[in-house]
């Protein structure tokens, strides 16, 4: 029978149940941060609520000197979709007969948040006068526009000249087994919306019209086949992808007057977003298009190629799993792109990502207990001189 009452479970799983039971669909927090704040305040954290607009954020710090290691994450989740498609109700967490913790946010990323809190609880119990400072940066705006969440908190910290040396983002990074991959960077994301103007007319009289689709196609083909860069040891080559193309009135006998093309670059550190903009606009101009192009920079690429945090995270994974993780920069964007601008070393380390954003999201329950131990071991490697062993 599925386990629906967490009383007999580990502290990590009990906290995960408490967070998963709250339907905190972006941008709502539904009290998740209050649950975490209560636990952190009991450990002596200074709690600072940092709301921006309708978004709830928390910056919590314990300690007064030395390097700052922050745990970063989000309490918001994506919509569950029709509940009828779920084996168990999406916001009624349970552990099924196969030992899987089921519920929206189990992997992305309330499970990680629970593991972070309990890891810090154990670490503080062992090292109440630890060196350095431990911080939490929690938002309810990661799955949404990501404007008034981590981005806004980081800007506030920058204005205050707050120090942030290391950051572990709890995004689900693992692929086949817990801890097999640590994300030590992410590609940049640059979006564009291109409007190519033509002249609307009757399809039987093309000489009286100008078809913007026909005009745009050679330019789009050039963009698709452009060699933007070759990537490097940490990043694949920059990718250009068209995600949407809209034109026409719906009638079959009308040449459209304009076409809208939505596209995105995922780019490496070999090229800047300004270079991508300039090269794109040069290609469009070369093809003689009458166009308007609106850009959105979603995030710069960031990379922690080496350093104390990468080494500590690797040691933490090895101490718990006995296996060495691989480093990767694959995948989409995360809030690490904002945190890295403070000069912090940033890694992403969390559970398996095979069910994130899907119906029946789930994660192995025992993995969350092991993830908590990995976080604790990483803290130990960074803030103590003790041998990392749990």
pLDDT of residue 390: 62
Q: What DSSP designation does 242 have? A: E
H helices present in the chain, as ranges: 11-20, 32-42, 110-126, 150-159, 212-225, 273-286, 308-321, 336-339, 365-383
CA distance 53 to 59: 16
- Whether residue 142 lies in the annotated active site: yes
Annotate 296-305 with b (16+ C-beta within 10 A) or e (fewer).
eebbbbbbbe
- Whether residue 76 lies in the annotated active site: yes
Task: For residue 372, give every residue at least 6 positions away whose Cβ sits within 8 Å of its Cβ, in sequence order, or none.
Answer: 12, 114, 115, 116, 118, 119, 122
CB 353 within 8 A of CB 87: no
CA distance 357 to 172: 11
CA distance 390 to 388: 7
Q: pLDDT in tens for each of the 390 residues of the chain? A: 788 889 999 999 999 999 999 999 999 999 999 999 999 999 999 999 999 999 999 999 999 889 999 999 999 999 999 999 999 999 999 999 999 999 999 999 999 999 999 999 999 999 999 999 999 999 999 998 889 999 999 999 999 999 999 999 999 999 999 999 999 999 999 999 999 999 999 999 999 999 999 999 999 999 999 999 999 999 999 999 999 999 999 999 999 999 999 999 999 999 999 999 999 999 999 999 999 999 999 989 999 989 999 999 999 999 999 999 999 998 888 899 999 999 999 999 999 999 999 999 999 999 999 999 999 999 999 999 887 766
Q: What is the DSSP string of 102-167?
A: ESTTTTTTHHHHHHHHHHHHHHHHH-TT-SSEEEEEEES-SSS--SSSHHHHHHHHHHTT----EE
Residue among 142, 335, 367, 376 flagged as catalytic: 142
CA distance 143 to 304: 23
pTM: 0.90
CA distance 23 to 381: 35
362: three-class secondary structure by DSSP: strand
Phi, psi dihedrals of residue 175, rounded to the nearest 5°: -115, -55
CA distance 308 to 230: 29
Residue among 76, 300, 369, 370 flagged as catalytic: 76
345-348: strand order across its sheet? 46-49, 57-62, 133-139, 68-74, 166-169, 345-348, 181-183, 326-328
Rounded to the nearest angstrom, the gap between the alpha carbon of residue 219 and the centroid of all alpha carbons in its chain is 32
């Amino acid at each position: 029978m599925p386990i629906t009452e967490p009383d007999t479970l580990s502290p990590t799983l009990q906290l995960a149940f408490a967070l998963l039971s709250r339907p905190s669909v972006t941008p709502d927090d539904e009290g998740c941060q209050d649950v975490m704040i209560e636990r952190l305040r009991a450990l002596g954290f200074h709690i600072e609520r940092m709301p921006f607009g309708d978004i709830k954020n928390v910056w919590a710090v314990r300690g007064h000197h030395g390097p700052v290691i922050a745990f970063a994450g989000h309490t918001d989740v994506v919509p569950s979709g029709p509940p009828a498609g779920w084996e168990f109700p999406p916001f009624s967490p349970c552990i099924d007969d196969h030992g899987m913790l089921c519920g929206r946010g189990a992997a992305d990323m309330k499970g990680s948040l629970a593991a972070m809190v309990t890891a810090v609880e154990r670490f503080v119990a062992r090292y109440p006068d630890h060196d350095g400072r431990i911080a939490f940066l929690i938002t309810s705006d990661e799955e949404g526009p990501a404007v008034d969440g981590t981005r806004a908190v980081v800007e506030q910290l920058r204005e205050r000249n707050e120090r942030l040396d290391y950051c572990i983002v709890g995004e689900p990074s693992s692929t086949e087994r817990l801890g097999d991959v640590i994300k030590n960077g992410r590609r940049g994301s640059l979006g564009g919306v291109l409007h190519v103007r033509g002249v609307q007319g009757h399809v039987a009289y093309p000489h009286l019209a100008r078809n913007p689709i026909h005009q745009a196609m050679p330019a789009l083909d050039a963009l698709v086949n452009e060699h933007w860069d070759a990537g490097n040891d940490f990043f694949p080559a920059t990718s250009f992808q068209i995600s949407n193309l809209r034109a026409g009135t719906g009638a079959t006998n009308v040449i459209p007057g304009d076409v809208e093309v939505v596209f995105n670059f995922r780019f490496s550190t070999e090229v800047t977003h300004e270079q991508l903009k300039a090269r794109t606009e040069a290609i469009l101009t070369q093809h003689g298009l009458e166009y308007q192009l609106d850009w959105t920079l979603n995030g710069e690429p960031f990379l922690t190629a080496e350093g104390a945090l990468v080494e500590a995270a690797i040691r933490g994974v090895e101490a718990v799993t006995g296996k060495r993780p691989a480093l990767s920069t694959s995948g989409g964007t995360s809030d690490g792109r904002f945190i890295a601008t403070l000069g912090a070393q940033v890694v992403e380390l969390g559970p398996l990502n095979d069910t994130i954003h899907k119906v029946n999201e789930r994660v192995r329950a025992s993995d969350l207990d092991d993830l908590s131990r990995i976080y604790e071991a990483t803290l130990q490697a960074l803030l103590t001189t003790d041998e990392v062993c749990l």
